[in-house]
Amino acid sequence: MSARTSLVAGNWKLNGTRASAVALAKDIAGGVEALGSEVLICPGFAHLGDVQAAIAGASVALGAQNCAAEASGAFTGEVAAPMVAEFGAQYVIVGHSERRALFGESSELVASKALAVQQANMQPIICVGETLEQRESGQLQSVLDEQLNAVIDKLGIAAIAHTVIAYEPVWAIGTGKSASSEQAQEVHSMIRKKLADLDESVAGNVRILYGGSVKPDNAEELFSQTDIDGGLIGGAALNAESFLAICQATD
Ligand code: PEP
């Protein structure tokens, strides 16, 4: 038995108004009582303050979807990790595949962002995962190695204990086509083994989330796998009822 507490994180992406974000946050906050897992919501930057107020006193953590690698300076348009932390946020997602693919973020940059998040006393949720083409051409392990080695080199293996890793196969994100529980477990176990080769205690303690078309009807099977410690949820996190049903599936 591991001592890892499950985490279910909602990535709201570029969605919502101030009013709809507050309403969703309140609906989630009202439904999380008595859950054994940790629940996290990650609204857009502009909604962090309103959502922080909406979940005050509830067992819901707040996070951001991205941040700058730098803490301050002449970087017009960027949002720094210490700015996010000021809202009481505890987590920042880094290296989401949309950031890697659409905004050209390299694994090196993602690692710098993860470091910036830790330096602001929050935990990075480090996303890794392969495209369908990479999977089908046998590059799964090498893709994971490249993405994980960058953060291990930058943070040091001991600091990986204070991160969350999210395995998100790119082909499963927003497609409705989730990895099977066996496929997901296989990769989670590969990631944990890679970490165990460096530090068994870190590998045993770090939480590895699965992300990619998690829905209320497949969450329980995915979350019951030995090396899956919860989920990073996109589309289904925009509806309180389905998000709470997914949270319940960790129990
Ligand atoms: C995501 O964007 O991290 C994600 C997992 O999205 P979805 O649940 O919609 O596939």
Helix (H) or strand (E) run with residue 210 in it? strand 207-211
Q: What is the mean pLDDT of residues 2-15?
A: 93
Closest CA to 48 of 87, 92, 90, 93: 87
Within the chain, what is the greatest distance between any pair of CA atoms? 49
Q: What is the mean pLDDT of residues 136-150?
A: 97
Ligand 1 centroid–CA 242 distance in Å is: 13
For ligand 1, is residue 213 a contact (CB within 6 Å)?
yes
What is the distance between the alpha carbons of residues 57 and 35, in angstroms, rounded to a whole number?
15
Give the Cα separation of 236 and 238 in Å (integer).
5
Is residue 233 lining ligand 1, measured as CB closer than 6 Å?
Answer: yes
**pLDDT tens, position by position, 156-179:** 999 999 999 999 999 999 898 889
**Beta strands per DSSP E along the chain:** 7-11, 38-42, 61-64, 91-94, 123-128, 164-167, 207-211, 230-233
| pLDDT above 80 for 185 | yes
User: Could you tell me the distance, in angstroms and rounded to a whole number, from the CA of residue 74 to the centre of ligand 1?
Assistant: 32
**Alpha carbon 80 to chain centroid, angstroms:** 18
3-state secondary structure 111-137: HHHHHHHHHCCCEEEEEECCCHHHHHC
The candidate with the shortest Cα–Cα distance to 209, out of 153, 251, 164, is: 164
- Give the closest residue (by CA) to ligand 1 atom 3: 234
- 3-state secondary structure at position 33: coil
Q: Is 146 a catalytic residue?
A: no
DSSP secondary structure letter of residue 67: -
Structure tokens at 117: 């998040």
* Ligand 1 closest atom vs CA 168: 5
Output the pTM of the full model: 0.97
95 CB under 6 A from ligand 1?
A: no
Q: What is the DSSP string of 73-123?
A: SS-TT---HHHHHTTT--EEEE--HHHHHHS---HHHHHHHHHHHHHTT-E
Domains of the chain: 7-98+107-248 (3.20.20.70)
232 C-alpha to ligand 1 centroid (Å): 7
Q: 123-128 and 91-94 as β-strands: parallel, antiparallel, unpaired?
A: parallel
128 within 8 A of 161, measured Cβ to Cβ: no
Q: Dump pLDDT digits (tens) for 81-94.
A: 999 999 999 999 99
Is it the case that residue 54 has pLDDT exceeding 80? yes
The verdict on whether 168 is a catalytic residue reads yes
Residue 75 has pLDDT above 60, yes or no: yes
Counting from 1 in the atom list of ligand 1, the atom nearest the Cα of 98 is 2
- Evaluate: CB of 43 within 6 angstroms of ligand 1: no
